[in-house]
Amino acid sequence: MNPGRTVFAQLIEYAPHKQFQRCVERYDHHRRAPRFSYWDQFLAMAFAQLTFRESLRDIEACLRAAPGKLYHMGFRAPVSRSTLADANERRDWRVYADFAQILINEARHLYVDEPLGLELDHTVYALDATTIDLCLSVFPWARFRKTKGAIKLHTLLDLRGSIPVCIWITDAKLADVRILDVLIPEPGSIYLFDRAYVDFERLHRLTEAHAIFVTRTKKGLRWRRIYSHTVDRSTGVVCDQTIALTGVNTALDYPQHLRYVRYRDPETGKRLGFLTNDFALPVLTVVGLYRMRRQVELFFKWIKQHLRIKAFFGTSVNAVKTQIWIAISLYLLVAIARKRLGNDRELYTILQILSVHAFEKAPLPQVLSADDYTSKDGDIRNQLSLFNI
> Model confidence over 249-297: pLDDT tens digits?
999 999 999 999 999 988 888 899 999 999 999 999 999 999 999 999 9
CA neighbor of 45 nearest in space, from 114, 124, 127, 100:
100
Using the predicted structure, report yes or no on whether residue 171 has a pLDDT greater than 70: yes
Indicate the residue among 286, 303, 322 that finishes a domain. 286
Share of the chain above pLDDT 90, in %: 68
Using the predicted structure, report yes or no on whether residue 62 has a pLDDT greater than 80: yes
Least-confidence region, from 7-11, 216-220, 335-339, 374-378: 374-378
pLDDT digits (tens, 9 = 90+) for 177-234: 999 999 999 999 999 999 999 999 999 999 999 999 999 998 889 999 999 999 999 9
- CA–CA distance, 67 with 230 (Å, rounded to integer): 71
- Beta carbons of 295 and 162 less than 8 angstroms apart: yes
The answer to whether residue 126 sits within a structural domain is no
- Do both 14 and 85 map to the same domain? yes
Q: What is the CATH number of the domain that holds 228?
A: 3.30.1370
Amino acid at 51: T
How many domains does the chain divide into?
2
- Do both 264 and 199 map to the same domain? yes
- Residue 382 binned pLDDT confidence (cut-offs 50, 70, 90): very low
The answer to whether residue 175 sits within a structural domain is no
- Do both 356 and 277 map to the same domain? no
Cα angle, residue 192 at apex, residues 222 and 183 outer, rounded to 5°: 100
- Do both 344 and 278 map to the same domain? no
DSSP-assigned beta bridge partners for residue 132: 151
Quick one: which H or E segment has residue 154?
A: strand 148-158
The answer to whether residue 65 sits within a structural domain is yes
- Do both 276 and 319 map to the same domain? no
Share of the chain above pLDDT 70, in %: 93
Supply the DSSP symbol for 53. Answer: -
- Do both 27 and 71 map to the same domain? yes
- Do both 282 and 324 map to the same domain? no
pLDDT digits (tens, 9 = 90+) for 29-43: 765 667 888 999 999
The answer to whether residue 109 sits within a structural domain is no
- Do both 268 and 341 map to the same domain? no
pLDDT digits (tens, 9 = 90+) for 107-121: 999 999 888 888 888
Question: What pLDDT sits at residue 32?
Answer: 60
The answer to whether residue 344 sits within a structural domain is yes
- CA–CA distance, 327 with 321 (Å, rounded to integer): 10
Return phi, psi of residue 263, to 5°: -135, 140
DSSP character string of 274-340: EEES-SSS-HHHHHHHHHHTHHHHHHHHHHHHHSSSSS-S--SHHHHHHHHHHHHHHHHHHHHHHHH
- Residue 371 binned pLDDT confidence (cut-offs 50, 70, 90): low
Number of Cβ within 10 Å of residue 230's Cβ equals 6
- Beta carbons of 41 and 84 less than 8 angstroms apart: yes
Q: Per-residue pLDDT averaged across 81-103, rounded?
A: 95
The answer to whether residue 144 sits within a structural domain is no
Question: What pLDDT sits at residue 146?
Answer: 85
The answer to whether residue 340 sits within a structural domain is yes
The answer to whether residue 383 sits within a structural domain is no
Domain that holds residue 239: 194-286
